[in-house]
Each structure stands twice: as structure tokens, then as C-alpha cells.
Structure 1
Amino acid sequence: MLLASTAATTAGGAAVAQGNAVTNAAMGAALPPGQGWVTAWAGSVQGPYPIGNPSAQPNQSFAFPDPAQGARDQSFRLVVRPDLWGRSARLRFSNAFGSRPLRIGGVHAGLQLGGGALVPGTNRAVRFGGQNGVTIAPGGQVWSDAVELPFAQDPDSPLLAGRKLAVSFAVEGSSGPMTWHAKALQTSYVSPPGSGAHGAEEGEESFPYSTASWFFLDAVDMTAPAGTPVIVCFGDSITDGTASTMNGDDRWPDVLSRRLHARLGNRVAVVNAGIGGNQVVGPADYSVEKPFPGGPSALARLERDVISLSGVRTLIWLEGTNDFSRNGNATLEAVQDGMRQGVRRLRDAIPGIRLVAATVTPALGSSSPAHGHAEQDEKRRGLNAFLTSPGLFDAVVDFDAVTRDPASGGLRPEMVPDSTTGAAGDKLHPNRAGYLAMGSAIAPAAVLPPR
């Protein structure tokens, strides 16, 4: 797997990903004194489309008629919300779950105006080793060159807070199985198959189709003062945001982000590394040929989704409910051991990282066939006792306490209805009210690294 890569130019002028050719430190060598790369947005890739658990997904059959062929000579305009802004950005593209080389070109980054349209004058071309495109091998990933953002030359401007970046690119030829993050809960845009490259356009006319997922793009870095801390929220659908509001940015990591920015301004980044359906230790066997909707296990994705990001200082880990579901059937001991392994690997890879455990929220009485049974709740309570015992984590945030109804043992009634679809809710995923309570329950001192 390519952990960090740049692009090299072939005799024909194409760029190809070269694994580990340049480290993150070397790539930042030309930055101004006192500046470094900080991951400002992440969307953990989880498998080949359409295997996954999207929310509020429009019909994708016109944009992608044949999932096996994937994207074909068409453009994407992915909308993401960087958690902090810098004068320059770089983008990471992934072909982690592809079965053939992925060729992308015509990459641009601009400020979203609304829908698929950009603020005029903000769109900038993005290069790879100075070239207009790059080929990414199956299983690989690649960072772009730095691109200056003309609208972010005052990164501390309050007018940038909450604004969204539109990353546009074209897939040249057929991609084959598409590496994706299913549950974006953010609308992005796609041009028709065979329509070609439209990333340079500021208008939205070339992007008629919408998607509630992110494809190929899995991280955005911004320049920021050296030492700016990145807090990674790591987990499953309850971190990914199921039952929160489409385009509302009200997952619990979003709530935490707004609280920390109110205190620290543009000097902290909170990124979301949740995947709907994810497990700590399962599945035991994951591959492109044998995918699982929840993606690879937490242990299998630690390197790509946490360790390889820039500036990580804290990780908040909320996970375990899917391991104890009828889809996972893991023992309490297996999940405890998996978390011990994960903690050791993180501390070895990122010296001084602050590790925060989050207690698992209740699912008792859930309408989901895989969840809500008494054995799951017994294991959940056992895991919470393990997480709150001293010695393994540096701090604990008690999500169970703020979401559990003392009368029923399940979710509080006001936290059950689905915020996006208006449905009854599944008594597993908290809604906006639940996520607001969770994000508000985190003491800043618990998650910020000591100064």
C-alpha cells in the first residue's frame, strides 16, 4: 500500500504515483518558516462502490450505469468542509480498493458558491509533480502538489468559517471498482459518463447528477502554524453521522469542532474518520473481491485513516456496537484486546498522541435486526467498564451517560427520530439532538493536547 507518494513524469509526459518517493516532511520543506501541513478534512475510504451504507443517497444509476466499470470519462465535483483554512492546500486521492490503475486529470479546487457552482475567480488547477494528471496503481494513494487558495490568504478570517471547498476532477477511461466513502451526508455532483473533463468550469451546468458520497478523494491538508493540533474522531456510523441532518454538519465531531474553534479560532482541526458499519476487529478477511459494507476493521485501517494523516495529536475512539451485533458476534474479550492492540500501535507510531476513549451509546430495543438485543447491551456495558478503567486511555468522554434513557436502557426518546428522512428512527443512531448532546459533553481539556 502507498502511504505517501508524489508524482514522477514519464517520457510521455504522464505522471505516475511512486510509493514512498517523498515523505510528508520533505513535501513540506518549501513551506514558509513556522508553517506545516495539517489535515483539515478526511473521508475514510471503505471499499468498492456500491458496497457500503450511504444515507439519503439519490439514484446513482444514471451517473454510474455499471458499478463494475465505475466512472467512465466523466467529472466529479466533490464538496467538503475543511475544518480549518490555510493559504495553500494539497489533496490526497486513493485507489485503495481499485482493481486497475486509476487515471485522474483536470483536478481543480475552488470555493463552493452553492449546489455545483463555484465562487467566480476562486477555482485553481491542481498538479501532480508539475503534471496535469496522475495514474494511481491499484491499492495506492497519492498527494497532489500544493495549490495556493486565492480566497484564503487570510486564513483567520471569520468569513471562511464553515465555507466549503469544491474539489473537481475527471476520471479518464474507466476506473473499474470505485474507492469511496459511502455516507458523506453532503451533496456532491457528477457529470454524465463520457462527458469528459469539466473541473475548470465555475458553473454547474455540466454536473447534473448528485451523490451523497465521496469518491477517490480521502484527505485535504492545509498549511497552518507548526504544531496546530489535529483531533481525529475514529469510529463507526455514530461518528460518521447516521440519522443526522443531510448537509447540516451536525454530527458530534462537527459540534465538537465548533466548540473548539470558538475557543481557539483557526488553530485546531477536527476530522471525521468514522465509517458506517465499521468494527474494531471484524471482518477477519477483507478484500476488493470480498468486501464488507462497514469497510476493513478499525485495526486494518489505522495506518491509512489516522497514522498517515498530518499533524495528528489526539484520537477519540468510539466503537464496538457493531462488533457485538449479530453481524459481528465478537466476544467482549476480542474487542478489548483489539483496542489494546490499536492503542499500542498508535502510541508507537505517533509519540505523545493523546488517546481518548468514548463510551458506547445504547442500542437496546433497536428496530435494526442486527442490533438491540440483551446480549449486545451486556457486552456494551462490559466494554464501557473496560474503557473507563484507568491505564489504557488518557481520558474518557461519557457518551453513554448523555444518550441513555434511565427508564428503558435505550436511547432517550427525543434522540430517536431520524433528522434527515423524517422517519421514526432505529433506536440505534442518535439524531441531531443526540449528537448535539454528545458533542457538548466533551470537555476541551480532555481532547486538547497539553501545551
Structure 2
Amino acid sequence: MQRRTLARSLMLAIIAAPRLAGAQPRPADTRMQAGGEAWATSWAGSVQGPYPVGNPSAQPDQRFLFPDPAEGARDQTLRLVLRPSLWGREARLRFSNAFGTRPLTLDGVHAGLQLGGAALLPGSNRPVGFGGQPRVTIPPGGQVWSDPVALPFAADPDAPLLAGRKLAVSFHVVGASGPMTWHAKALQTSYGTAPGAGAHGAEEGEAAFPFSTASWFFLDAVDMRAPAGTPVIVAFGDSITDGTASTMNGDDRWPDVLCRRLQARLGNRVSVVNAGIGGNQVVGPATYGPEQPFPGGPSALSRLERDVLSLSGVTGVIWLEGINDFSRNGNASPEAVQAGMREGVRRLRERLPGVRVIGATLVPALGSSSAAHGHAEQDAKRRGLNAFIRESGLFDAVVEFEPVTIDRASGGLRAEMVPESTTGGRGDGLHPNRAGYLAMGSGIDLDALLPARR
């Protein structure tokens, strides 16, 4: 009883919390009154598949959660935990069966506020429908948006106590899913029931969810109702955007750092969405699918539609990618990667008029302990691509990640940015740690990302 009373007090505090003392009305408040509201992407987890092909970090043993990867999830409930970039009074969810080979049927879908672990804030959990029905079937290769769901704890989306809180999306997989569409490297703990346990998404306690995972499954986007014109910036790239070597559950990838800086200026009026996939390439692999998977997911060009163009309200894209193309796994030529970037930028501008496309210089990998990386030929190609990003005029602006991460003496990462922050260890000299991501996110010119003021 005492726990429920405390939880109710917290919910009331979130709903009724006043603006910070001395805070002035934000420009977006006027836009809400004059321009109404629209959907804005608040979170994304770019999909790949089939599980377990991918590059997860700090993954618990999944044998008890998913005993047979070919059967996937079987009559069980997953409770995925994620941090929305911005909050709204209503949300909608996108589920994907992009790399499945069987129809995927879901029911018992709910959305609530995480209290801790798999437990939810009492009274926050709400059922989610699809065309007014509690069940939906997604064909192989398909995706579906849910109906809007009201979030009672976000009645005031600007409440300071909501900032940084996490949403828990629960759903029951009816029968066996078959090969699972997933995002391998969540760097966020989510939860699941035992196979055959049935539907438990409506429950706000954690007793039914004994197993954990460091990946996201099937869910790939969350929209929030926001003032029309709310900036949505997509960070598009590979593992260095996905956050490899950052802190587990720490939300300290460079897009997270950037988001906090922007929201310190604009409040709950801007979204930064992470569309990175560990191991991703600009132009490779040539083919990708359930029968021909690749740990780095489909190429940036082949996933551009799903992971950027189809998201809601996108106003800017920061593209950081190419190091995997130049690895021994990719072996791409500089010309091929440059042509791929030109094609990607062309498609972005064609489909999203007014979008700001920002190129980001690649961080060094020279001397990396990774078998596919760290060699001199890769570094020469990396430096050449950075010159192209800076000098070609292709991009509206350039984010300089190289100068804040490079050790000029060695040509590799700065020594303090090498030790891994996820599970500890020496690091690989390819992925910056928390200190590196903090430097990257802190060095971005915020004015270069936002639409021009009118």
C-alpha cells in the first residue's frame, strides 16, 4: 500500500509539476496554439534481422528467453524499455516484421511509464489498439502503426519530472513468431516472460518477467503528438552512432548528449532520434534479407526509406558513416562511398523538402585491435572521405568529430577515449567510450541543426 501511495504521488507530481521557476514561455508554445499539433518521431530502433544475427552489447544469455531462434518468441510477452526523446499527451507505436518469414500476430499491447526494472508506475499502463482492435497480424516484410494511445502521466508534456523518464512497451507474441526482426544493440535492458507464459502486458508488476535482454524486438518507432514544426533530427550511421562502448543503460551515446543540449535550450520541443546500426555500411552488403543476413544490417542506402524517410516530422539528418565500408569486411572504394552519400543526400532532399543534411567527419580507428579495422589503408580512405565531407559542398553543414577524438601523435583515438564503458576492459581503439561520445555530442554547433527562424 505504501509503494502504491508513493507511486501515485509521483504520478500526480509529474502531471501537475509547474514549469521551472523563472522559465519563460517557449516559442513552440505559440506554435501549438497557432499551428496545432502533428506527429513527431520521439524514438527509433532501426531494425535488422533475423535474430541472432547482429552485434549486441552486454547481451545476457538468451537461451531461456528464446530457446530456438528459428521459432523466435513463442506465446510470450516482451516488455521493451526505451527513452523517448520528447513527450506528448498521445503516442503511437510502429511494429515491424521486416525480416520475418511468417505472419507476426501481436495482442495485449500496452504502454506505461517504467518504475524500475520490469515494474511500471501503478496506474500508468494503457492498452494499445490497431484499427480499434486489440490484435494485429503483420505479414512478412510488413509494418504497422498502432492507434493513438493517451498517456495520462504526460498530461503536461513539459513537466520537468518527465524529462529522461522511460516508456515501457509490452506486447504478447501469439504463437511462434519465427525469425525475429530486432535491433541488436539497444544498450538498454528490456524484459521478457518465459516461452509459453501467455499475455502479461496489462500487468504493472515485474513478477512475470524474469528474463532480460539488451536488444529491442519488433518495435522500431514511437511517435508523440507535438507542436507542429517541432524539429526532429535523425542521427544516421553505424555503431559509433548506435553507441558501442558507451554505458549500459546510461543514455550517453553522442545523440543522447546532443539531445540533452538541445533540450536545455528548447525544452520538450525538439527530438533527436538514433538510427544507428552496429556494423552498418553506406553501400554494403549488396543484398540483405532473412536468408542472407549480415551482422551490420542492410546498407544505409537500402534502409534509408524505413529508417529516415518514413519517420514523422524529420527536419534534419546527421550522417556519420563509412568506416565499416573501408574495413576488411567492406573493402569499398572511396568513390563508391562518395557516390552512395551523394545518392542518399539526393533522396533525402527530394523526399523531405527543406531538410538540413549534415555530414559528420569519421573518428580515427588507426591501430584498432579489431581484426577488420585499424590498418593504414583504412585510415587513408577515412581521411579522404573526411576531406570529401568537408569540401564537396554536398552537405548543408559539417559536424567535426575527428578533431575532438584524434590523438595527433598516434593518429588513433585519444587514450582516455579508448577503455570501454559498457562492461569495462581495454577497448578496441575503434569505438569511443563515454568520454569520447561526450566530446562528440558537446562539440556540435546547435544552430547548424535547427531550421532557420522566421
What is the TM-score when the length of structure 1 is the normalising length? 0.93
Structure 1, unmatched stretches of 5+, are: 1-30
Does residue 437 of the first structure (1) align with residue 445 of the second (2)? Answer: no
SS at match of 2:384: helix
Question: 2: CA distance between counterparts of 1:431 and 1:378?
Answer: 23
Counterpart amino acid of residue 248 in structure 2: M
Runs of 4+, deviation exceeding 4 Å:
none
User: Which residue of structure 2 lines up, in the alignment, with residue 196 of structure 1?
Assistant: 198
1:139-288 matched pairs, under 5 angstroms = 139-288=141-290
Question: 1: CA distance between counterparts of 2:55 and 2:74?
Answer: 23
Question: 2: CA distance between counterparts of 1:177 and 1:313?
Answer: 34
- 1:307 CA displacement: 0.4
Question: 2: CA distance between counterparts of 1:202 and 1:114?
Answer: 11
Question: 2: CA distance between counterparts of 1:54 and 1:233?
Answer: 19
Instruction: Tell which deviates more after alignment, 259-268 or 389-398.
Output: 389-398
Question: Which deviations, in whole Å up to 9, do the C-alpha atoms of 1:198-253 show, x marking residues without a partner?
Answer: 00000000000000000000000000000001000000000000000000000000
Counterpart amino acid of residue 274 in structure 1: G
The percent identity for this pair of structures is 78
- 1:32 CA displacement: 11
Question: 1: CA distance between counterparts of 2:412 and 2:309?
Answer: 34
User: Which residue of structure 1 lines up, in the alignment, with residue 97 of structure 2?
Assistant: 95
Counterpart amino acid of residue 254 in structure 1: D
- 1:102 CA displacement: 0.2
- 1:33 CA displacement: 6.7
SS at match of 2:198: coil
User: Which residue of structure 1 lines up, in the alignment, with residue 294 of structure 2?
Assistant: 292
Does residue 54 of the first structure (1) align with residue 51 of the second (2)? Answer: no
Question: Which deviations, in whole Å up to 9, do the C-alpha atoms of 1:418-443 show, x marking residues without a partner?
Answer: 00111100000000000000000101
SS at match of 1:218: strand
1:329 aligns with one of 321, 328, 331: 331
Question: 2: CA distance between counterparts of 1:32 and 1:288?
Answer: 47
Across the two proteins, how many residue pairs are aligned to each other?
421
Question: 2: CA distance between counterparts of 1:367 and 1:296?
Answer: 25
Question: 1: CA distance between counterparts of 2:381 and 2:392?
Answer: 19
Question: 2: CA distance between counterparts of 1:61 and 1:189?
Answer: 14
Question: 2: CA distance between counterparts of 1:210 and 1:256?
Answer: 28
User: Which residue of structure 2 lines up, in the alignment, with residue 44 of structure 1?
Assistant: 46
Does residue 313 of the first structure (1) align with residue 284 of the second (2)? Answer: no
Question: Which deviations, in whole Å up to 9, do the C-alpha atoms of 1:313-362 show, x marking residues without a partner?
Answer: 00000000000000000000000000000000110110110000000000
SS at match of 1:267: coil
SS at match of 2:335: helix
Structure 2, unmatched stretches of 5+, are: 1-32
Counterpart amino acid of residue 298 in structure 1: A
Question: 2: CA distance between counterparts of 1:156 and 1:421?
Answer: 34
User: Which residue of structure 2 lines up, in the alignment, with residue 400 of structure 1?
Assistant: 402
Question: Which deviations, in whole Å up to 9, do the C-alpha atoms of 1:88-122 show, x marking residues without a partner?
Answer: 00000000000000000000000000000000000
Does residue 358 of the first structure (1) align with residue 389 of the second (2)? Answer: no
Question: Which deviations, in whole Å up to 9, do the C-alpha atoms of 1:361-392 show, x marking residues without a partner?
Answer: 00000000000000000000000000001421
User: Which residue of structure 1 lines up, in the alignment, with residue 76 of structure 2?
Assistant: 74
Question: 2: CA distance between counterparts of 1:46 and 1:195?
Answer: 26
Question: 2: CA distance between counterparts of 1:70 and 1:287?
Answer: 16
1:426 aligns with one of 418, 425, 428: 428
Counterpart amino acid of residue 412 in structure 1: R
SS at match of 2:233: strand
- 1:47 CA displacement: 1.4
Question: 2: CA distance between counterparts of 1:93 and 1:437?
Answer: 34
Question: 1: CA distance between counterparts of 2:293 and 2:329?
Answer: 14
SS at match of 1:48: coil
CA RMSD after TM alignment: 1.0
User: Which residue of structure 2 lines up, in the alignment, with residue 8 of structure 1?
Assistant: none
Counterpart amino acid of residue 43 in structure 2: W
User: Which residue of structure 1 lines up, in the alignment, with residue 127 of structure 2?
Assistant: 125
- 1:133 CA displacement: 1.1
User: Which residue of structure 2 lines up, in the alignment, with residue 16 of structure 1?
Assistant: none
SS at match of 2:199: coil
Question: 1: CA distance between counterparts of 2:63 and 2:451?
Answer: 46
User: Which residue of structure 2 lines up, in the alignment, with residue 383 of structure 1?
Assistant: 385
Does residue 417 of the first structure (1) align with residue 437 of the second (2)? Answer: no
SS at match of 1:103: strand
Question: 1: CA distance between counterparts of 2:331 and 2:207?
Answer: 48
Question: 1: CA distance between counterparts of 2:274 and 2:121?
Answer: 26
Question: Which deviations, in whole Å up to 9, do the C-alpha atoms of 1:126-177 show, x marking residues without a partner?
Answer: 0000000100000000000000000000001111000000000000000000
- 1:448 CA displacement: 1.2
